[in-house]
């Protein structure tokens, strides 16, 4: 009887954990306390200035990447598929290229790889990368509706894997 009670007690503890306490998939580091995100600026495909404030009220997955980064190139189609699945008024995957070659280089890469659901964003100065404390590419920040960083992942990941989609979806519905 004692082993059964122990297993039952353990199951109840797991069941009562809030969604945010669940193990994040694929090495996603979830912060205990949401952190302020530095103000950054970048441009869209037409050269218009953008900031993270443009996504206010949405959960944002900010992916810092470059076309010369092999792991970034591999994961970009999966990020595009995640945006296709979850993108809308409550969520945006923001792929921020730090390519110095300008938007033409990113446009060409998107066309070659069939990326159609992500908007083109670029910071040729790479100032955003340094302001965000990026130590390697790709680096992805999960930003809540209030503009606070709630998680970070360094390195490539399969963004459209079922566990990742469920994790991000949980963050979206957690208003």
pLDDT 10s digit of each residue in the chain, 175 long?
544 433 333 333 333 334 444 468 888 999 999 999 999 999 999 999 999 999 999 999 999 999 999 999 999 999 999 999 999 999 999 999 999 999 999 999 999 999 999 999 999 999 999 999 999 999 999 999 999 999 999 999 999 999 999 999 999 998 7
Q: Give me the residues paired with residue 44 across strands.
A: 121
For the whole model, what pTM was predicted? 0.86
- At a CB cut-off of 8 Å and minimum separation 6, what does 145 contact? 56, 57, 58, 59, 175
Nearest residue to 31 (alpha-carbon basis) of 120, 142, 106: 142
With beta carbons less than 8 A apart as the criterion, state whether 67 and 75 touch. Answer: no
Q: Which domains does the chain have, with CATH numbers?
A: 25-173 (3.40.30.10)
With beta carbons less than 8 A apart as the criterion, state whether 167 and 153 touch. Answer: no
Nearest residue to 61 (alpha-carbon basis) of 140, 119, 156, 139: 140
Cis peptide before 30 (omega within 30 of 0): no
Determine the length of the chain.
175
């Amino acid at each position: 009887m004692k082993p059964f009670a122990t297993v039952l007690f353990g199951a109840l503890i797991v069941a009562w954990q809030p969604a945010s306490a669940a193990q994040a998939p694929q090495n996603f580091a979830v912060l205990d306390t949401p952190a302020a995100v530095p103000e950054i600026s970048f441009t869209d495909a037409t050269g218009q200035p953008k900031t993270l404030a443009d996504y206010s009220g949405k959960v944002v997955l900010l992916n810092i990447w470059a076309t010369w980064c092999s792991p970034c190139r591999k994961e970009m189609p999966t990020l595009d598929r995640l945006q296709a699945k979850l993108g809308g008024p409550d969520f945006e995957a923001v792929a921020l290229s730090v390519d110095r070659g300008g938007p033409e280089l990113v446009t060409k890469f998107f066309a070659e790889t069939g990326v159609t659901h992500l908007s083109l964003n670029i910071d040729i100065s790479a100032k955003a990368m340094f302001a965000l404390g990026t130590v390697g590419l790709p680096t992805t920040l999960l930003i809540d509706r209030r503009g606070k960083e709630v998680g970070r992942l360094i390195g490539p990941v399969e963004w459209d894997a079922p566990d990742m989609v469920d994790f991000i979806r949980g963050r979206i519905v957690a208003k």
